[in-house]
Structure 1
Amino acid sequence: MEQSPILLFFRRMFRRKLVLVACIVLFVIVLMALLAPWVAPYEPTAIRVIRRLKPPNELNWLGTDEFGRDILSRIIYGARASLGIGFAVVMVSMTVGTLFGLLAGYFRPLDGAVMRVVDALMALPDILLAIFLVAVLGASAFNVVLALSIVYTPRVIRVVRASTLVIRELPFVEAARALGVSARRILSVHILLNVASPVLVQATFIFAYAVLAEAGLSFLGAGVPPELPTWGTMIASGQQYADDAFWVVLFPGLAIVLAALSLQIVGDGLRDMLDPKLRKAL
């Protein structure tokens, strides 16, 4: 009996138990972020000075920070901001990167100009370029998304361009071109669908990179404003109290590690499943 494509997809995807665990962890984090107003025990900005720097206890499961704010609640609400920024970066970089990658790979006159800009951007270290852009644009969530999108879009352009260069020479594309099919339709139907797999895998990696980069920018004071609870701002504000109250930096750091590691493992699982050679090896 032939299995449905969806069931076959999940069987191949979760053949490795580590990928299944990563998907569950990621699902829990995303679900908590979406349901933050209902699952967080306290308001993330509620100040209770009398409970300042309390260790984990029955009232505050992960302890409190220097203002008596509940760390668990701030981590849950911080997931909204951190994952939201990461998701926005993925959407912008995937959209712009896929567009320019297709154009550069299909239209040869555009290839040189686009790739020179890509090479120039990729020659600079990611975090330094992001810090420079945020310093120029100003510290805000929108500018962090814009800066990180500029940083990671060249990666997508290179991946899509490389795939497009191969696909544009395949017989079915040459046949479509000979039949008079427009370049827009060839790009949107024949080529885009065939580059979707590497783009999807790249999206998971960029999501993880963006979460880490946002935390790094916030830690350095070049990210979102400190009043917005994100995992990076929590670590930045609590670092001076880490010697006496380790929980103020430990638990936000664990949240960053779990989210980024889960995204990386899910990306590896997608790559292994979508790549025919790696799928056969599995």
Structure 2
Amino acid sequence: MLGFGLFLRRLFRRRIVLIGALILLVLIVVALAAPWISPFDPNAVRVARRLRPPSAVNWFGTDEYGRDVLSRIIYGSRASLGIGASVVMMSVACGTLLGILAGYFRRLDGPIMRVIDAFMALPDILLAIFLVAVLGASATNVVLALAIVYTPRVARVVRASTLVVRELPFVEAARALGVSTWRIMSVHVLLNVTSPVLVQATFIFAYAVLAEAGLSFLGAGVPQEVPTWGTMIAASQSFSDQAIWLVVFPGLAIVLAALSLQLVGDGLRDMLDPKLRKSL
């Protein structure tokens, strides 16, 4: 196995991947340190300062209630990135389990994959809107809905890798030595499907951030009183012609988060794929 230092050097050999990782690191630090770096209370209403343009006091301006846009973006990063991370954890856990079961047990392959194909036949955003409409609009239900939407992506990737791994000599040797099936799946198979799952997780993180913003913009996601980048853009629709900063800055935060995750995902894919690694 590669040492961690060597792995990082190879991963960040491409400068664009390093830039993406630095942007992502800054966003994560901002989200974690929000209570200490936010200049104002994100929910403090100051009607006298409503719709003020960016200035030395309010760097990103104020919204229709006089709330500081920069503070709301900082706190919104906690919700937006938190929802994305929660979606990744749930979809990776469920998708990995389903993918290994489908790939290792031939009898389960057909039923599991037919259900997964049925979910993947539906457009992601429409399926998410339907699930949130059924479950109700809340941060928890948005996470659950998006996890259901993206679990099939992980399951298909894991299944494909499991079909290859289960036929390798070391797995056959483990069977011959009497190693239990569950130990083979949890040790030998799981460790060898980690790389594609890790790459897929970074892309799902980006998709989840974008999907949460889209759901909130359509009014089918997180309630408006919860500051997320999507709810900020949704609430600013009526004022976008006179206060363009209400749309630009939250939108820029969404773009930076999605772009950085995509860049890191591309770098991991190139690093972990043997065919692509040879060309680097």
- CA offset digits 1:93-137 (Å, max 9, x no partner): 000100110011000000000000000000000000000000000
Q: Which amino acid aligns with 1:95?
A: A
For residues 5 and 110 of structure 1, what CA distance do their matches in structure 2 show? 37
Q: Which amino acid aligns with 1:85?
A: I
1:218 to 186, 191, 216: 216
TM-score normalised by L of structure 2: 0.99
For residues 164 and 6 of structure 1, what CA distance do their matches in structure 2 show? 25
Which residue does 1:237 correspond to in 2?
Answer: 235
Which residue does 2:176 correspond to in 1?
Answer: 178
Which residue does 1:96 correspond to in 2?
Answer: 94
1:188 to 179, 186, 189: 186
For residues 5 and 216 of structure 2, what CA distance do their matches in structure 1 show? 41
For residues 10 and 98 of structure 1, what CA distance do their matches in structure 2 show? 25
Which residue does 1:87 correspond to in 2?
Answer: 85
TM-score normalised by L of structure 1: 0.98
- CA offset digits 1:150-183 (Å, max 9, x no partner): 0000000000000000110111111111111101
For residues 160 and 97 of structure 2, what CA distance do their matches in structure 1 show? 13
User: What percent of counterpart residues are identical?
Assistant: 75
Which residue does 1:22 correspond to in 2?
Answer: 20
The aligned length equals 280
Q: Which amino acid aligns with 1:57?
A: S
Q: Which amino acid aligns with 2:137?
A: A
Q: Which amino acid aligns with 1:146?
A: L
Which residue does 2:42 correspond to in 1?
Answer: 44
For residues 162 and 9 of structure 1, what CA distance do their matches in structure 2 show? 25
For residues 93 and 243 of structure 1, what CA distance do their matches in structure 2 show? 39
Q: Which amino acid aligns with 1:225?
A: P
Tell me the SS of whatever aligns to 1:63. coil
For residues 222 and 182 of structure 1, what CA distance do their matches in structure 2 show? 46
For residues 73 and 190 of structure 1, what CA distance do their matches in structure 2 show? 47
Which residue does 1:56 correspond to in 2?
Answer: 54
After superposition, residues 115-264 of structure 1 pair within 5 angstroms as 115-264=113-262
Structure 2 stretches lacking a partner, 5+ long = none
Q: Which consecutive aligned stretches of 4+ in structure 1 deviate over 3 angstroms post-superposition?
A: none
CA positional deviation for 1:7: 1.5
CA positional deviation for 1:6: 1.5
Alignment RMSD (CA, Å): 0.9
CA positional deviation for 1:21: 0.6
Tell me the SS of whatever aligns to 1:228. coil
Structure 1 stretches lacking a partner, 5+ long = none
For residues 51 and 269 of structure 1, what CA distance do their matches in structure 2 show? 44
Tell me the SS of whatever aligns to 1:180. coil
